[in-house]
Amino acid sequence: MLDSNTEAKQSEKVKSELIPNVLKYLDSSDMEDTENVIARTKLTDLLIHEDDEALQNWRAKEISRRKEVEEQLAREKQDVLEMKNQRDKIICELQMVRDQSSALKNQLFESKCTATELEEKFLSAVDLLISFKERRDKLRIEHANAVRKVEVLAKIGEADTTSSYVVEFPAFSFMEINEATHDFDQSWKIGEGRYGSVYKGLLRNMLVAIKMLPSYGCQSLLEFQHQVEVLSRVRHPNLLTLIGSCAESKSLVYEYLNNGSLASHLACKDKTPLPWQIRISIATNICSALIFLHSSDPCIIHGNLKPSKVLLDANFVAKLGDLGITSLVQHSVDSTDTSPVLCNNSHENLAYVDPEYLDTGKLRPESDVYSFGIILLQLLTGRPLSGLVRDMRCALEKENIKTVLDLSAGEWPLYQTTQLAYLALRCCEKTWLNRPDLVSEVWSVLKPFRTICIDRRQELTSKKHQRAPSHFVCPIVQEVMEDPYIAADGFTYEEEAIRGWLDSGHDTSPMTNLTLEHTDLVPNYALHNAIREWQQQ
Ligand SMILES: Nc1ncnc2c1ncn2[C@@H]1O[C@H](COP(=O)(O)OP(=O)(O)OP(=O)(O)O)[C@@H](O)[C@H]1O
């Protein structure tokens, strides 16, 4: 038992130590305000009434309450700790997911790249397939064409291609050549090309053209004779006929075509312009000759096709000249010169040469097709070579072909002419593969024109063949004169012929053989007009 003194001391201690602490606790406690107030009130009451027992009870309650709170706090702390752990775990998992996501993204990107690559490969494979298909189709067409060529050739058929055809091939002596050309008189000279001069001549009662090849080189007479004989066997109505040769003077003797070359008709403004029907007929003739040459076995390529090689006979039938000439001359020229078509060729002549041949040096049948295209454009337009393809392309694009057609040729049938113009442009394609096939494409467009053209040709030639008054004919060249000139002997001659006669050193009259008093020439205008009038009737 405590004595009353000790109790008083304890009570005093409670008041002085515990109560301030309890009040402090109430201040800091997160107890509801009402609870707090009630607790304070109770405490104050207790202090006022100094009820120690009640204070002790209250204290015990508070201690147990505090314990509960602390336990509650410990549990909550535990919960927070668990939540923290859970959160860390989730963060960790999130990080892993993030890592996986970026790896997947990389994979996706790589897959996309591979897909694009594969797509590109697929597209190029499709392109390749298409080009293979096109090539296959082209080969099929070529094959079909080759088969058709044989049939068409049989129909074109004026050609006599049978190898059994025996040609008597005369060999002329130099004396005969000399005599035929009047000692190589300048007035008998028709022209001069890269491979020598061409003379007109009367040989064994035939009017002929004699081509004098260069005499240098190592080809033996026998070799020359043999090669010329091989060439003479290539015969077609649209190829200039090689009649014979003279190995001694390396001369080739051809049939003489009195309407001159296509080049002279295209260039000479004085001449009556060729009607469109004749122009198309000329294109048909060239095409026919090329089909024949290309389908020969082995294939023959002209390789030097241009208007001066297209000669016109009295009926305006076109014939290709100079076939195989390069093979005869190649033996003679310098061995380093591998391109006879190109050597000494003028800028103008190069316009007819296949650009792919210029690049690669490889001559193909399509090289002739290119030259044919340029000639066809010239026939249609009568224009000079420069800008020819461009102007035609432009006119066709504007659907106004009339602006480029040579209207002096008459009333062109516009639909068919346009078709021809398109074909001509395709012939002039830079790549040989894009050029049209002569048989299936070019010939089939030209063929329907044939009857109209032949009728017109007959009309024209029958007019021309009306017998000309004898005084319209030049005594030297035996043709109707274009530029008649009077000489000192009182006779009228073709200007070019009489000048050639005089320039070659003659001082005598070609008619009387008497010495001329002078060499002056006077134009015969009256006769010139009379001839023109007669020609225009
Ligand atoms: N058989 C012939 N009948 C009429 N004229 C001809 C005959 N052969 C050639 N000619 C003409 O003779 C001229 C000279 O022809 P040639 O073939 O020698 O040269 P080119 O074609 O003018 O040029 P190059 O041979 O240098 O390319 C040309 O104007 C041509 O028209």
The pLDDT tens digits of the residues spanning 289-325 come to: 999 999 988 888 999 999 999 999 888 889 999 887 7
| d(C-alpha 24, C-alpha 16), whole Å | 13
Q: Is residue 321 within 6 Å of ligand 1 at its C-beta?
A: yes
Using N-to-C axis directions, what is the helix angle for 388-397 and 414-427, rounded to 10°? 130
Cα distance between residue 489 and residue 477, in whole Å: 17
Q: Which of 190, 344, 349 to mutate to test the pocket of ligand 1 (most atoms within 8 A of CB)?
A: 190
Is there an atom of ligand 1 within 6 Å of 295 CB? Answer: no
pLDDT at 168: 59
**What distance separates the 2 farthest-apart alpha carbons in the chain?**
195
Structure tokens that stand for 41 in this block: 């009130």
Q: What is the pLDDT of residue 50?
A: 61
Give CA–CA dist 388/399, Å, rounded.
16
Centre of ligand 1 from the C-alpha of residue 141, in Å: 37
> Atom 23, ligand 1: which residue's CA is nearest?
193
Query: Is 254's C-beta closer than 6 angstroms to any atom of ligand 1?
Result: yes
Q: From atom 29 of ligand 1, which residue's Cα is the shortest distance away?
A: 191
Atom of ligand 1 nearest to the CA of 192: 14
211 among annotated binding-site residues = yes
Confirm or reject: Cβ of 241 under 6 Å from ligand 1: no
Query: How high is the pLDDT of residue 503?
Result: 86
Nearest atom, ligand 1, residue 325 CA? 25
Predicted local distance difference test score (pLDDT) of residue 403: 94
Q: Which of 192, 197, 198 to mutate to test the pocket of ligand 1 (most atoms within 8 A of CB)?
A: 198
List, for the chain, all residue ranges whose pLDDT scores fall below the cut of 50. 1-2, 156-167, 331-343
Residue 265 Cα to ligand 1 midpoint, Å, equals 13
How many whole angstroms separate alpha carbon 339 and alpha carbon 51? 141
Q: Is the CB of 189 under 6 A from ligand 1?
A: no
Which of the listed residues 210, 243, 261, 302 should we mutate to test ligand 1's pocket, taking the one with most ligand atoms within 8 A of CB? 261
* CB 288, CB 238: distance < 8 Å: yes
Architecture of domain 259-334+344-467: Orthogonal Bundle (1.10)
Q: Nearest-CA neighbor of 38 among 66, 62, 12?
A: 62
ipTM: 0.96
* Protein residue with least CA distance to atom 9, ligand 1: 198
> What is the dotted CATH code of the domain comprising 170-256?
3.30.200.20
Alpha carbons 421 and 400: distance in angstroms, whole number: 12
Q: What residues does CATH 3.30.40.10 cover in the chain?
A: 146-168+470-536
- CATH architecture under which domain 146-168+470-536 falls: 2-Layer Sandwich (3.30)
The rounded percent of the chain whose pLDDT value lies above 90 is 38
Q: How far is the CA of 367 from the centre of ligand 1 (A)?
A: 21
CATH 3.30.200.20 intervals, the chain: 170-256
